[in-house]
Amino acid sequence: MFSFQQLYLSMTNLKTSQRRARSGVLMTISCAILLACSTPAPPPVVKSGKTNLGNVPQNAPVNYPVLAREAPPLPREFRAAWVSTVANIDWPSRRDLSSDKQKAEILNILDNAVSLKLNAIVLQVRPAADAIYPSSIEPWSEFLTGEQGRPPSPYYDPLQFWVEQAHARGLELHAWFNPYRARTAQSKTVMASNHISKQFPQVVKTYGDLQWMDPGEPIAIQQTLNVIGDVARRYDVDGIHIDDYFYPYPVKNGNSTEIDFPDDPSWIAYLQAGGSLNRADWRRSNVNHLVEAIHLRVHQEKPWIKFGISPFGIGRPDRLPPGIAGFSQYDKLYADVELWLAQGWLDYLAPQLYWPINQGPQAFKVLLDYWLAQNSQNKHVWPGLYTSRIDSSDKSWPTDEILNQVDAMREKGGNGHLHFSMAALNQNRKDIRKRLSTEKYTSQALIPASPWLDASLPGSPVLEASADKKSLRLQLPEPVPGIGTSNARLLAIWKRTGQQWLFSVLPAQNMTIDLADDPQFGAIKQVTVSTISRTGQESLRSSYSLP
């Protein structure tokens, strides 16, 4: 049965003040259940008599099942890669691929991610006010089929395929949106009739070789909110993600003078309505409004979905550490990232720290320290790494640069990072995938929990050995009132061989665990299993001991 010590240990894992307060309530309820119920939750019945769920009671009979050793804490680290669809950077590799070839590339990317021991993919689903999925709001992307508005042939839903195949491999799938870009320099086809530039041409501005939705136009803001809400509602995505493109990066004329973004109509309308902010602060307020609105909309659709942002990696000029200099997203992109962190308008921040460790004005470690220090709401800070800078050019980074950045992140107490982009890993440039797998990602890891989204504990698995003792069958029980829910997404599995603990992760749909001897470490002596919720919460653990 559940022991008081187990329950206590599970409660001490709760890290936020909200969860500490809640743990007292849960302890009280749990104690009442254990003491008052006439039929407390029994351990699973196994004929071998070797299964138990916790510590041996002091008054246990001599033939009580052997005590399971305590498995180690769960390894936690967000390990993700961006998959860009814009300009066919990562997927699909060309605009003229058949549906079968697109699917084959998806499976190759996901299988390589699993072999590398990543646990999430951040997939670009909206490169330029278009879609890689069937949408009633925006047209099919030309990067998918070669012509904007043309669906895949034979028809299939690429985003649904990505989600299903990622989840079947135990990977999270985050849907990545470009908030305001309407047309890229790589676009070649005419705009479809349902593109925003056709439906609401007044809100789309030409800026350099781009077309851009004006963030000061309410129609543009609502378009982005509608698109994100639609995906969050219709697809089982684990995260909603936006990048660094708010107002566009500045374009210069022939005299190297910056051209101002052409938003006079929305600016004048703001002033005529009584607005009092200066133009820069007004632009920042437009971006702030979008970020806050996305945060609210996503969690209204599905409270467990994580909302993440990957801004440019240098913050406000007036707050930068000594020696740090560079492009100001605060002044040029009108992104007040420090405010978003302070207000808690996101669940994870992935600042693009795309510089080497020893590049003084943009030193990786100093910038990482800076962003960690801004995180007053204790959300996740998972830096973006410029892994694609490993290439065949004369300016290529050595593989060790990325490996050292992973070490630096861990030394600072960080618990996650993202690689830009999957192409470098997929191609194993200069052995980067192989070396990450063998040197840095030596075992699978679970994504760190987000208890502010949902602190409920999932139900513990019940373990039962097969008749031939070659496998364990798992069953998820009904929710225990006051203790948790059965909202299980993954299985966290520890196997002990002698003194060696081996860790693995499986989707919760996998209801069988193999008990075969490990080829490297020998016979399995114990299996300890817990379930993991959508927000990363771990259930109480169940253990099975072998002779």
* pLDDT of 458 strictly over 50: yes
Total-model pTM = 0.88
How far is the C-alpha of 77 from the C-alpha of 96, rounded, in Å? 37
Same fold, 4-73+454-545 and 78-440: no
* Longest pairwise C-alpha distance within the chain: 89
How far is the C-alpha of 303 from the C-alpha of 352, rounded, in Å? 26
Region 422-445 average pLDDT: 98
268's CB contacts (< 8 A; 6+ apart) are none
Question: Beta partners for 177?
Answer: 126, 242
Cα–Cα nearest to 39, from 480, 486, 541 = 480
pLDDT for 498: 86
Which carries the bigger pLDDT value, residue 496 or residue 17?
Answer: 496
Percent of the chain predicted with pLDDT > 90: 82
Region 265-275 average pLDDT: 98
pLDDT for 276: 97
* pLDDT of 74 strictly over 90: yes
Element holding 78 (H helix, E strand) = strand 78-83
CA 39 to centroid of chain Cα atoms? 41
pLDDT for 336: 98
Report H helices in 310-431.
329-332, 337-343, 364-373, 399-411, 422-426
pLDDT tens sequence across 84-121: 999 999 999 999 999 999 999 999 999 999 999 999 99
Residue ranges per structural domain of the chain = 4-73+454-545, 78-440
Between helix 4-12 and helix 17-36 the angle, nearest 10°, is 170
CB 403 within 8 A of CB 438: no
Per the prediction, the chain carries an average pLDDT of: 88
pLDDT for 56: 33
pLDDT for 479: 58
Region 5-22 average pLDDT: 37
pLDDT for 499: 80
pLDDT for 60: 32
CA atoms in the 13 A half-sphere facing the CB of 430: 15
* pLDDT of 20 strictly over 60: no
Q: Which two tokens stand for residue 384?
A: 């973006």
Sign for the CA dihedral angle at 518, 522, 527, 532 comes to: negative
pLDDT for 27: 37
pLDDT for 43: 35
Can you tell me which residue has the tokens 């021991």?
A: 117
Output the CATH code of domain 78-440: 3.20.20.80
Which carries the bigger pLDDT value, residue 447 or residue 467?
Answer: 447
Which carries the bigger pLDDT value, residue 20 or residue 430?
Answer: 430
How far is the C-alpha of 405 from the C-alpha of 411, rounded, in Å? 10
pLDDT for 67: 55
CATH of range 4-73+454-545; options 3.90.79.10, 2.60.40.10, 3.40.50.720, 2.40.37.10: 2.60.40.10
pLDDT tens sequence across 32-52: 333 333 333 333 333 233 333
pLDDT tens sequence across 175-217: 999 999 999 999 999 999 999 999 999 999 999 999 999 999 9
Element holding 301 (H helix, E strand) = helix 279-301
Please report, to the nearest 10 degrees, the dihedral formed by the alpha carbons of residues 334, 340, 345, 351 taken in order: 90
pLDDT for 510: 86
* Inter-residue long-range contacts of 510-513, CB under 8 Å, 24+ positions, other chains counted: 511/473, 511/474, 511/475, 512/471, 512/472, 512/473, 512/474, 513/471, 513/472, 513/474
E strand residue ranges, 412-507: 416-419, 457-458, 462-465, 471-475, 484-485, 490-497, 500-507
pLDDT for 6: 37
pLDDT tens sequence across 500-543: 999 999 999 888 999 999 998 999 999 999 999 999 999 999 99
- Burial of residue 254, with CB atoms counted within 10 A of its CB: 0-12 exposed, 13-18 middle, 19 or more buried: exposed
* pLDDT of 134 strictly over 80: yes
pLDDT tens sequence across 343-402: 999 999 999 999 999 999 999 999 999 999 999 999 999 999 999 999 999 999 999 999
Cα–Cα nearest to 167, from 453, 490, 529 = 490
184's CB contacts (< 8 A; 6+ apart) are 86, 87, 127, 128, 210
Lowest mean pLDDT among 173-182, 268-277, 481-490: 481-490
User: CA triplet 84, 85, 89: central angle to 5 degrees?
Assistant: 65
pLDDT for 476: 83
